[in-house]
A and B are shown apart, each in its own frame.
Chain A
């Protein structure tokens, strides 16, 4: 009898586990850790939203919804996209409610990518982009962005990365992990290149509610872009609903219907109580979003100024809730820095290299923590940097 070495597919075997996982395992057993490693709001979902989910359960809404999601929710998403980002989508055919923005990304890539197609990804970028492109059979072409450009992709950098095999560009603004924001003028320049090469765009806008200095602009709202863009958004970050796993896709009808095929086979539909909660969030939750955003903005300024004061040079992030300071002056690699910081000072951060090679020399610090925690974290970081300065 012959024995197989592994039943696991080659594409999965090739995948590297997320670098974030390693730090989670390291930090999980430690007591008294101040965590700047979290990629989620420190607010609990608004009570009115939680209560709407409870009510839906009490009323017995425990069955599947339509594959694309509750029509009421899709209508509200359409209204929201229209009023907030000047985008018009038909709730019947162009909006799909997904299990978080993560699933939205997965099915979008699977719908776009044929074997060997190249997808351009900005680096540093969210940990799942490259693996998801590879799982879809594509080739991830990463473009390293520069801190002097605020970690934003420039039209020239994009142009240089395009080949005959390029199918799509994946953008994320505001960005995780750098907090950088592509403003309207940047997007116009990128859109020109994208149109010239007839590329599709996957626009991850999960942090759109958390743009601090200028209103968020969706690339889909620019001339000639709507019909080639898949907009991905969700409730996790802006509405503090990470655990609800609720996202959505807005795309032109042809792409949306292709996506729906994958979604209906793979996932059937998103969770029903979460969808009822999301309706309430859009109806009644916007005031809380404004309040949370105001609080993040204050903490952003406090934390980024403090980082710069202690010598961890950091650009001012325009959105999300991450600071992405350089740690080069310590001479440590980002992984060494994060590991030593955790062991010596009990502060958890995420090393920049887990977001791609372009993140080496940086760490990601989430400032979605209370001011008391941030003040203590700054003290500990200061001590750490003093101990490790050359």
Chain B
């Protein structure tokens, strides 16, 4: 879909901060509040604006348990449907947070989240590996998150500028 300059800007601004009000957005982009509202609604309907997310650093939350694994999956593609069918079978599981088709040593990159390492391991052995066209899996557990979705974790730098300057 061809978007106008200000609509592209709207997406860029919302991607950084989805909490801005229509009124603030209208000032920032110099269009009316109604235009912003209409455009956001249209983009939601067209699934350009898919979801408004918060990035949470769960490591800071006491008592929160959770592990994330990135799994390299080799697949035998099927005639006519290629990798799409197997990808669909995988992404429907709620444990699966992302699925990408990759070039290189393996075919699908699957991110799985579970409460414990055991839970993830069971998912891989019981569900993922047993799918017909899955040839092999290699599971990598994440040990620490440094940067996620463009956000550096733990890097909360204060404004180092002096309060008044020329």
Contacts and interface: CB of A to CB of B under 8 A. Distances in A.
A27 B28 CA distance: 29
Interface in A26-51: 27-28, 30, 33, 35, 37-40, 42, 44
A38 B27 contact: no
Interface residues of B, number: 18
Nearest to B160: A44
Contacts of A37: 163-165
Interface in A10-39: 18, 20, 23-24, 27-28, 30, 33, 35, 37-39
B166 interface: yes
A38 B159 CA distance: 11
B12 A301 contact: no
A169 B144 CA distance: 58
B9 interface: yes
A23 B29 contact: no
A302 B12 contact: no
B48 interface: no
Contact of B164 (A35, A128, A301, A302): A35
A299 B166 contact: no
A246 interface: no
A298 B164 contact: no
B24 interface: yes
Given A302-B24, A371-B17, A20 B30 contact: no
A18, A126, A302, A375: most-surrounded residue (chain B CB, <10 A): A302
B166 A127 contact: yes
B20 A38 contact: no
Interface in A282-320: 294, 298-299, 301-302, 305-306
Chain A residues touching B, range: 20 to 34
B45 interface: no
Given A44-B157, A294-B12, A301 B166 contact: no
Nearest to B164: A37
A24 B162 contact: yes
B20 A42 contact: no
Contacts of A348: 163-164
A28 B13 CA distance: 32
Nearest to A27: B163
Given A44-B157, A375-B24, A298 B163 contact: no
Residues of B contacting A: mostly: loop
Nearest to A350: B164
A24 B9 CA distance: 35
A28 B166 contact: no
B161 interface: yes
A301 B27 contact: yes
Contacts of B20: 371
A302 B27 contact: yes
A305 B166 CA distance: 24
B28 A39 contact: no
A24 B164 contact: yes
Contacts of B163: 24, 27-28, 30, 33, 35, 37-38, 348
A242 B30 CA distance: 30
A322 to B, nearest CB: 11
Interface of A: 18, 20, 23-24, 27-28, 30, 33, 35, 37-40, 42, 44, 126-128, 176, 294, 298-299, 301-302, 305-306, 348, 350, 371, 375
26 contacts: A18-B166, A24-B163, A27-B163, A27-B164, A28-B162, A30-B163, A35-B159, A35-B164, A38-B162, A39-B166, A40-B161, A40-B165, A42-B161, A126-B166, A294-B9, A298-B9, A298-B13, A298-B28, A299-B28, A301-B27, A301-B29, A301-B30, A305-B27, A348-B163, A348-B164, A371-B20
